[in-house]
Amino acid sequence: LVHLQIALEMAEEIGNELMQTFAYLNMGNSYNRLNSPMAMPLYHQAVKLAKKTGAKEIIQAYYDLSLIHFQNGEKIEGRDFFKRAMKEVEAFEDEFFIKLLNVVKALFI
């Protein structure tokens, strides 16, 4: 996580919002693997930046947010992020995430 924090700081220094998106997403992934609640605000920050830059990584952030909510028994929130992910998947025509989201749909919806 230290290296990701350094990468984030460097991206902020040079004003590279796409690299900041990657850093927040990867930090969120790290905290998510540790089952830490710190993952969610990091994913939300990745979403915010991905919207500004048009980054495809918004799909990953929405996907992970949907899983976290479903795993926490928060079905309404999980469905909301699932729908957002599906909308972005369709816009980007990302076959990989279409398949992943179909698994989420089968398991939780």
pLDDT tens digits, 34-89: 999 999 999 999 999 999 999 999 999 999 999 999 999 999 999 999 999 999 99
C-alpha pair distances (Å), 46 with each of 101, 106, 108: 19, 26, 24
CA atoms within 13 A on the CB side of 89: 19
- Residues 6 or more apart from 74 whose CB is under 8 A from it? none
78 lies in which domain range? 2-108
pTM of the complete model: 0.92
So what's the pLDDT on residue 108? 82
Cα separation, 98 vs 80, whole angstroms = 16
How would residue 104 be classed by pLDDT, with cut points 50, 70 and 90? confident
Q: CATH number, domain at 17? A: 1.25.40.10
Cα separation, 109 vs 58, whole angstroms = 21
Counting the structural domains of the chain, the total is 1
